[in-house]
Amino acid sequence: MCALYPRLPWASPGRQALVRRLSGARPAVAQRSSGGRSVGGDRYSAPVSTPPPNPPPGPLPEKPGTPGTPEASAASAASAAASWSDGLRFAFGTLTVLPVTVRRWDRGAARTGMSVAPVAGLAVGVLAAATGLLLLVLGAGPLLAAVASAAVPAVLTRGLHLDGLADTADGLGSGKPAEDALRIMKQSDIGPFGVITLLFVLLTQVAALAQAYGDSWGRGVLAAVVSATVGRLALTLAARAGVPGARAEGLGAVVAGVVSVRAAVAVAVAVTALAAAAGALLGVYGVLGAVLAVLLACAAAESLLRRCVRRFGGVTGDVFGALEETAVTVALVAFCLFA
């Protein structure tokens, strides 16, 4: 109704206002756009948005880093390579004196490092066997070659494993509670139990290596390499999940429980298979001796590990050293008896 009044010539502005008041209509208000702000209407109104254009037909391009893309695969491969590199550095940097820089000192690097610990043992065993073989070539006898093959691992590890063996023997032989035994193990001096244990272990290693070199050069080389590798396999098994650390600090706290049980078993199977393949160079009895050396060494180390966990409440760096030397000694004796 009010919309018709502007067209009538007699409809004055006053009459138009009266009609609007009677009809309840609101006066028309002119609006203009001001960047989304209305004048005289709503205080703010949403600006009109233009819908995006339809995407082109076909699959959408994948963003860099999306799983399945070449960039993601390359990044994953680089990350895995860096992890293995850090693990090898951890293994060689903590288990040997070889000039290797440890770039990471955390449980992630320790997990890979303890998994590849037998690789560090293999390197030590090869150097020990090469030294003994060199002396034999130069005209030395089996005893001198055996002494050299036993001394090289001690030098390459700064004697830390032997020191751990002595400290663990002192702790186990003290008969004191766990806290007191751990304090004894941390002292720099060596007690009578440690001295006796060191003496007999080194004599046994030298005697076994001398017998192996006396039988044949190949048997001595194989005994040195296999025993050193199995000694570090004992560390992998001792670092498996479920084995606690006795202290809140030190090497034992870093590596305790970092290796999954499945990974530890896989490493043990791989080392056993490689030892059997190496023993095949000596025939059927070589295979038997190598396999028995691995199994008996792991069994002896496991027995000592359980004893230490019950006695000390977990593992320490000294316990790892004792496990390594125990496994090496048992492997050498078993190799000489059965290979």
Which two three-digit tokens encode residue 213? 């070199």
The whole-number pLDDT of residue 103 equals 82
Kind plus residue range of the DSSP H or E element containing 88: helix 70-95
What is the per-residue pLDDT for 56? 55
Nearest partner of 214 among 287, 149, 297, judged by Cα: 149
Q: Which residue has the tokens 């056993």?
A: 272
CB 339 within 8 A of CB 282: yes
pLDDT of amino acid 22: 43
Its pTM stands at 0.77
DSSP 3-state of 197 = helix
**Residue that has been written with the tokens 């530890």 in this structure:** 264
Give the pLDDT of residue 32: 43
Q: Give pLDDT, residue 17.
A: 52
pLDDT along the chain (339 residues), means of 10: 42 49 46 42 45 56 57 60 82 89 84 95 97 97 97 95 96 92 91 96 98 95 97 97 90 91 97 96 92 97 97 95 98 90
Q: What was the pLDDT predicted at 217?
A: 94
Q: Where are the beta strands (DSSP E) in the chain?
A: none
CA distance 90 to 87: 5
Question: Residue 175: which region, alpha, beta or left (left: phi > 0; alpha: psi -120 to 50)?
Answer: left
Q: Smallest Cα–Cα separation from 123: which of 146, 145, 93, 80?
A: 93
Residue 219: other Cβ atoms inside 10 A: 22
Tokens, residue 296 = 């008996």
What Å distances lie between residue 261 and 82, 111, 116, 268, CA to CA? 23, 12, 14, 11
List CB contacts of 62: < 8 A, sequence separation 6 or more.
68, 69
DSSP state of 29: -
Could you state, in order of their start, the residue ranges of all structural domains in the chain? Answer: 118-338
